[in-house]
Each structure stands twice: as C-alpha cells, then as structure tokens.
Amino acid sequence: MSFRKGFAAAAAVIAIAVGAGFGLRAAQSLTIPFPCAEGGACAYVCHSVVEEGRTASDFIALAAYQLGPEKPIDLPPVNLGTPPPVDPHNVYAGAAAGMFSPAVDGQPTRVYSPNLATGRVDVIDPETFKVIDSLQATPSPEHIVPSWDLQTLWVSADVSMSGGHGGVIPIDPRTGQLGKEIDVPDSYNIYFTPDGKSAIVVAEAMRRLEFRDPHTMELQGYIPTPNCAGINHADFSPDGAYAIFTCEFNNSLAKIDLVHHTLADTLPLTPGHMPQDIRIAPEGKIFFIADLVGDGVIVIDGDSFGQVDFIKTGVGAHGLYPSRDGTKLFVSNRGTHSLGGQRNGMGSVSVIDFATRKVVANWTIPGGGSPDMGNLSADGKWLWLSGRYDGVIYAFNTDDGSVKTVPVGGQPHGLTVWPQPGRYSLGHTGNMR
C-alpha cells in the first residue's frame, strides 16, 4: 500500500473513530466509556472499536506521517553499554534492600500514584499511610516512571479518556514538584534501554516504540510494531541484547533486538491468554508474563522465545513484582477479566517461588478489591498497589499478607514507591537493576 493510500485509509478510520467518541490516538487499554465484555471478547470489543478497518500498513503510514520515514536508529548496540550484573545468577541483586545509589541521596520516601479519573498524582507518606499532596498533572495519567539515572519521575499518559493527552511530565523527586509537560503523540508507558542512552516510549495506540533522548524526549528513531495490538509492558535480557514486549490485544509477544534496534520476532501465544506485565526470572533466561484472562502467569524461555509453563494464580493476573531478595514473585490479580472494571471484585495477590514455580501464598482483600500496579517498599516489607476500580491504594504486608488501604478516589493506576534500591531504572513503575 502506498503512503498516500495508507494514510487515506487511516484518515477514514479517524473519522469513524471520532464519530464514536474516540480518536486515532485513543489507547486500547484501560479506561473505556462503556462496560466491556468478559475474557477474550473484551479484547476483541475494545480494540476493534478503536481499530475498525485499520491494517498494519495504516499504522506504518501513520508513523511516517507523524514521525517521518523509518530509518536505522543511529545508536550503538545497547548491550555494549549495559552495566554488568552485580551477581550473574541474580539480575535483581543490585536492587536488594539497602542497596541505594548515591544518586537518590536527599530524595524523600514517597508513594506517587497517578489517577486516571482525576488527572492528578496523589502523593502518600508511607510512614503515616496518609495522602500529603495531590499534583495536577494531565488527563489520563497512566504510570509514574523512574528515569534510568534516578533523577526524574516521569508521568506517562494516553488518550483513553475524553480530553486525554499523550505528553510526558517530569517530577523532581527531591522537591515533589511537576515540571513542564513535553508533547509526544502517545506515552502509555515508558522504559529505558539498559545502557541509559534512550527512553523507549511505548506508543500503545500507535503500535510503535519511540526511542527518545532520556532527558529531553527528543525523537531518536522508532520501531513500528504494527502486528502487536496493545503493545504494553516489557522486560530486558541481562546483557541488554533484547527486550520482550507484551501485545495485550492479540495474545502475542514482540521481541526487540537492541543490538540492531529492530523488531526481531513475534510470538503468538497458545489460545486463551491476554498478556500483561512481564518480568525476567533472577537467573536471567526465563520470563514470567501475567495473563489477565487465563488467571495466571505464562512462562517463556527468552532466548529460544517459546512457552514452557503456566502457573495458575488468581482472577485477572496483571502486575508482577520480584521480592528484594530475588526469591519470590508477587502477582497482583485484579479480580476481574473486564477492562471496564469491577468494584469489590475477587482481587488478590499471589506469591510465586521463583525456584519451584509454585504458588506459596495467596492474599485476599477483606470485602474484595482490585489490586493493579505498583511496587515494593525499599526494604521489601510492603507491596504497594493501586486499587484501580475501588479508588484506594493498598499496602500489603509481605510477611503475612495483611493489607492497609488509603482512600484516593477515582481510578489510581501505575504507582511507584520512591526512592528504591538499585543502580539504574529500566522504567515502568521501577524495574530496577
């Protein structure tokens, strides 16, 4: 398809989508203006309404129109600049309790929670479990993302709600103040290459990965992923040679070659899954992927890029968080399959032993709930998670699974606890190495 024809097709879809209350920039995940069906039907409904009639060529044409024609990204191979692991047998050894970088000296301990419904970032003192500030950010803020150099917390956003905007906003973690918003087309999520040379802006609705300057967000180049519907979460190999991204709405994974900055491969998963968050095992080869529809965790071999196991956890598995000692994986189970959400659902947290791949504990919420995204406290004693559909923040005691709640209203989403131990951040809500 020629660019002119491809863009004309994309423009036609824009007109259709806008008439339905959406736009081409409308993100496919998260907040939608109608209740969504269960399971796989939910993915089909949510992404077909926004993408009706659009082909892979349309997404490629749109990227060329907005960002210019694709060309090789003029950057050295990422794995040449990736810091070597602290322990070759545990990729999380550098983020153990107490292992703070000097870069975070003077940064007060806070929980930063973006709220999709209010457009604000709620700031919580984890010592008192009280909201101490509320920053007016941007419509539909998605995640609070620590920068590679640990000096900035980025607010990512998309356009899934009316009036939403895909820009990014820096927060100074020393003062807790917002900086000036930087315009990008869609910033559902943000990661950083392991060498720190690039921010990877996950333009979910655009089906592409934008490599940008990690400080100014100036475009360095982009990788189209037109067959990855709902490109979403990622994690990286220990040497920085590749990253694996989840494709939420067509049950697949995308492997990105960071040596050559190209899309290396796409892996269709076995039927009946809806991949969400992804985290690598401590040994650095096996990846665990939360599955919202299958109610568990998919296990794949990163090098050979194939499925090897599946672990049942709880209803609506979504977020994944390794323990500070790298022995366990905490899985947040939303308690629903519906992207439209459910209050007081069957939300829970499951604890997986990395070595045995067995669930060793399940923690429920009295009265139900919707634990979504977050991170561990610096000492690993608390797992902080947003209660996405219940307007609260949860703090789970990692010793006994008991839970405290902090009311914030609205729809809290990708919160982070800051500062955290680690030499550098790979992004998201604090994937530390």
Give the span between the Cα atoms of 425 and 107, in whole angstroms.
15
Residues 6+ apart with CB under 8 A from 8: none
In a domain, 376, yes or no: yes
Q: What is the pLDDT of residues 58-86, one digit of tens each?
A: 888 989 989 999 999 999 999 999 999 99
In a domain, 243, yes or no: yes
Is the separation of the CB atoms in 204 and 185 below 8 Å?
A: no
Instruction: Report pLDDT for 26.
Output: 36
In a domain, 333, yes or no: yes
Q: What is the pLDDT of residues 233-291, one digit of tens each?
A: 999 999 999 999 999 999 999 999 999 999 999 999 999 999 999 999 999 999 999 99
How many structural domains does the chain have? 1
Asked whether the predicted pLDDT for residue 165 surpasses 80, the reply is no
The pLDDT > 70 percentage for the chain reads 86
Range of the domain at 229: 78-418
In a domain, 34, yes or no: no
The backbone torsions φ and ψ at residue 103, rounded to the nearest 5 degrees and listed phi first, read -65, -20
Give the span between the Cα atoms of 36 and 22, in whole angstroms.
15
Residue that wins the pLDDT comparison between 28 and 423? 423
In a domain, 5, yes or no: no
Average pLDDT over residues 323-338: 96
Instruction: Report pLDDT for 119.
Output: 93
Q: What is the pLDDT of residues 349-391, one digit of tens each?
A: 999 999 999 999 999 999 999 999 999 999 999 999 999 999 9
Asked whether the predicted pLDDT for residue 30 surpasses 90, the reply is no
In a domain, 323, yes or no: yes
Residue 180 sits at the vertex; the CA angle it makes with 176 and 183, to the nearest 5 degrees, is 130
In a domain, 31, yes or no: no
Give the full edge-to-edge strand order of the sheet including 110-114.
130-136, 120-125, 110-114, 416-418
Asked whether the predicted pLDDT for residue 309 surpasses 60, the reply is yes
Query: Residue 350's domain is classified under what CATH number?
Result: 2.130.10.10
Which tokens belong to 391?
Answer: 């307007």
Give the span between the Cα atoms of 168 and 156, in whole angstroms.
5
Give the span between the Cα atoms of 367 and 403, in whole angstroms.
12
**Residue 101 — left, alpha, or beta (φ > 0 → left; ψ -120 to 50 → alpha)?**
beta
In a domain, 156, yes or no: yes
